[in-house]
Structure 1
């Protein structure tokens, strides 16, 4: 059996649909892609890119409890230079965006490692501990316009 999966392209920075096996790995990859590349709403104390005023966020957040937002705040790093503090902030944004999978019991743990890739890219290794105790590593790359 197959299902539609969200395939993230590091080169184009876009998501495409692909037929993939209907299994736990496909579900996990979809959940990670949605969690990282959906824009979470910025809080009042977040610095917005280019002095903007739009705090964005996902329209589906309206059904979530007050203060919760689906997605990540990686979008806040647009136009930032890829420096160690920005890489650390990106890692923290990813960890926060993926924590719901542990809270809801889909995973036992999630560990995110972030490092500079090319001059304008941050690479993420996302290690997920499945309910059976085994670990799986997912790799993602995030592009920044410098």
Structure 2
């Protein structure tokens, strides 16, 4: 009986660990920004190496949108032409951003206990995107 419980526990733990790792491998999908109080930010990661980004203010006005490329690495995603959101994005007269505004950046990939993937922007301010 004890051996049977150990076997079931080992299988359950192994399945849980495999399930968490497989979720992290599948990064494609919609991510929504969390803890940004001044805007609503989303990233859609496509399987072909491209991503789409849309940011609205809290009144529903479009602040920014673009489409560019990304590269997935083991523990992070490198985004090209990325507008860094530090909760200070506002509506501009024009939606055109210069190369000074758009940067290449890396966001850390994390997998929480519920199997949701997070893209971390800032640990101290707790800004991140979570996969829906």
Q: TM-score, length-normalised on structure 2?
A: 0.30
Q: Higher strand fraction: Structure 1 or Structure 2? A: 2
Work out which structure has the larger RCO, using CA pairs closer than 8 Å and 6 or more positions apart in sequence. Answer: 2
Q: TM-score, length-normalised on structure 1?
A: 0.28
Which one has a bigger Cα radius of gyration?
A: 2
Q: Higher helix fraction: Structure 1 or Structure 2? A: 1
